[in-house]
Amino acid sequence: MNLAPALIQDASSGDQQAFVLLVEPLLPDAFRLAVGMLRSESDAEDAVQDGVLNAWRHFGRFRPGSDLRPWLLTIVANECRHQRRNRWWSVIRTEAPGELVDKASSSDPDTLDLRRALYRLPHDQRLAVILRFYLDLSYEDVANTLRISTKAAKSRTYRALERLRLSPEVLPDE
Amino acid sequence: MNETQIRQRLREAVGETRVPPDLRNRVEVRLGGSQRMKGGSLMFGFGRTASVVAAVLALLLLAAAVIGIRAWHDNLANSRPASRVVQNPTVSQYQAVVSHDEVYALSKQANACNTLTDGCSTAAPRLAAALQQWLDDLNAMRPPSRFIYVDAELRRHVAACITDLKAAVAAYDAKDQKGMDSAIGAGVSERDIFVAEVDAIRNSTQASVSVYTSVVRSDPGLTNCVACQTLAGSGQAPCNVGDDSCQNNIVVAIEDIDGLQGNLVRNFAPDALASKDAHLQMDVWAADQALVAMDTAWSAHDQASLQTARDAFRQAFARVVSDLASI
């Protein structure tokens, strides 16, 4: 991504408008990531908003010259993890009617099984699968978002697919 | 199943979604209440006096932490067990040296090498030097028989981590952020592996016949190692350089074989099964080496060597399966 250095500098100096301009093109990816992780559009929007707020607060840690997308996605993914943890003890917050879970084609038993299996995956494995197959990120970008090596990203994705019984026989080159 | 099919199945499962059109506005509203301080640090509604007090307290805490950490490091440095390294250590002597050297090396880790301005050129060599001392200790010892294979693995991973750290410093000096990220990522992976190996060594105890048999027969790594079976199976699934699924299978198979190796170290065979265990460990080692050779060949785009290594893996894996069946 070609980020205007001036925007980054302005955002680093506290210019909120510059920061919004920087993250705006990334919001669709951030939202899709959160939806993939949380199943609920309203929870996803909360996670994106909280994630962007945290990104703004910690923008001083962003390394000029590196890619903003994996940096932001990492933060949003962490927000998703917090939201899921919170839901363990929150009995009030449940899936609202009309949420994504109802929009997905639910009549096919295989799809239902896959959906259940996906949300039973450990956070890191589900994140790898969502980044790779729902956001269409390259393995290099998956690795940057997960802050692990490309090899480890491939391995984690592969293990997740095995658990989902979607073991790839032949994967095309990137 | 190919990637396109996987993608389609997952999208059906998750469901397609539409980004709310006013998401940007809502994000802006959410940001509205938070201000950043000049210079990049943050302020969340504290008054100036409170901020100054907080800063002073933070400085005092930082100073105390630095003094404490330095004292701890000095203590570790002074107690580094060079004199405890003997050529033919007992099991407990070997465990003590490996364990202590690992703690010493990991104490040299620093949160550097994240950016091109954070002091990687001094932090990484310090860690590399500690790892080199550890490697020297390992090279000076002849490990007890139960640790022969894991010792060789350990030396390989420590050496690889040193290489990665040197590459990180080279990238740092060249102002190559991407190269540094890549080298550090590789080094962290090596570190995670040798930490697991040391854990197995540290906790190695001789198992009873029933425990050992049960551990070997129910080893989850091997029974579930679809990647091993794909690479070793008679189905001749393709595994070519440039083919991502090939490298995936290799990496996953290495992890699973390493897992089995760790279990064999952690639950060392009883005397009655020592001979069979020695065969098993040797064949597991051979399988692991073949996989490493496959990985190297894949990365070097050397199809001939990849095929040769795969044949070696096939043979070694068949022997491992046979060894397991005999126990």
Which residues of B are less than 8 Å from A129 in CB distance? 10
Q: Are residues A3 and A41 in the same domain?
A: yes
Q: Which CATH number fits domain B207-327: 1.10.3470, 2.60.40, 1.20.1530, 1.20.120?
A: 1.20.120
Q: Are residues A5 and A90 in the same domain?
A: yes
- Asked if this assembly's ipTM is beyond 0.90, the reply is no
261-300 of B, contacting A, C-beta below 8 A: none
Can you read off the two tokens belonging to residue A129?
């699968």
Mean pLDDT of the region A23-36: 93
Domains held by chain A: number:
2
154-183 of B, contacting A, C-beta below 8 A: 177-178, 181-182
Residues of chain B with CATH 1.20.1440: 81-203
pLDDT digits (tens, 9 = 90+) for B282-314: 999 999 999 999 988 998 899 999 999 999 999
Confidence of residue A116 (pLDDT cuts 50, 70, 90): confident
Q: Are residues A13 and A83 in the same domain?
A: yes
Q: Are residues A75 and A116 in the same domain?
A: no
Mean pLDDT of the region A142-149: 87
pLDDT at B318 over 50: yes
Mean pLDDT of the region B34-51: 38
Mean pLDDT of the region B79-103: 82
Q: Are residues A11 and A59 in the same domain?
A: yes
Considering A78, A96, A114, which residue would you say is the last residue of a domain? Answer: A96
Q: Is residue A172 part of a domain?
A: no
Considering A71, A96, A121, which residue would you say is the last residue of a domain? Answer: A96
Q: Are residues A141 and A68 in the same domain?
A: no
CATH placement of domain B81-203: 1.20.1440
Q: Is residue A174 part of a domain?
A: no
Considering chain A, what is the average pLDDT of its residues?
A: 78
Q: Are residues A53 and A6 in the same domain?
A: yes
Say yes or no for a CB contact (<8 Å) between B248 and A168: yes
Q: Are residues A29 and A52 in the same domain?
A: yes
Question: In the 3-class helix/strand/coil scheme, how is chain B assigned residue by residue?
Answer: CCHHHHHHHHHHHHCCCCCCCCHHHHHHHHHCCCEECCCCCEECCCCHHHHHHHHHHHHHHHHHHHHHHHHHHHHHHHCCCHHHCCCCCCHHHHHHHHHHHHHHHHHCCCCCCCCCCCCHHHHHHHHHHHHHHHHHHHHHCCCCHHHHHHHHHHHHHHHHHHHHHHHHHHHHHCCCHHHHHHHHHHHHHHHHHHHHHHHHHHCCEECCHHHHHHHHHCCHHHHCCHHHHHHHCCCCCCCCCCCHHHHHHHHHHHHHHHHHHHHHHHEECCHHHHHHHHHHHHHHHHHHHHHHHHHHHHHCCCHHHHHHHHHHHHHHHHHHHHHHHHC
Q: Are residues A48 and A117 in the same domain?
A: no
Say yes or no for a CB contact (<8 Å) between A36 and B38: no
pLDDT digits (tens, 9 = 90+) for B94-124: 999 999 999 899 888 776 676 777 778 888 8
Search chain B and give the residue with CA nearest A112.
Answer: B13
Mean pLDDT lowest for which of A93-97, A123-127, B231-235?
Answer: A93-97
Most confident segment among A145-149, B84-88, B301-305: B301-305
pLDDT at A123 over 70: yes
Q: Are residues A72 and A144 in the same domain?
A: no
Nearest 5°: CA angle at B27, between B23 and B33? Answer: 155
Considering A96, A112, A140, which residue would you say is the last residue of a domain? Answer: A96
pLDDT at B72 over 60: no
Q: Are residues A92 and A110 in the same domain?
A: no
Which residues of B are less than 8 Å from A103 in CB distance? 15-17
Residues of chain B with CATH 1.20.120: 207-327
The whole domain housing A11 covers 1-96
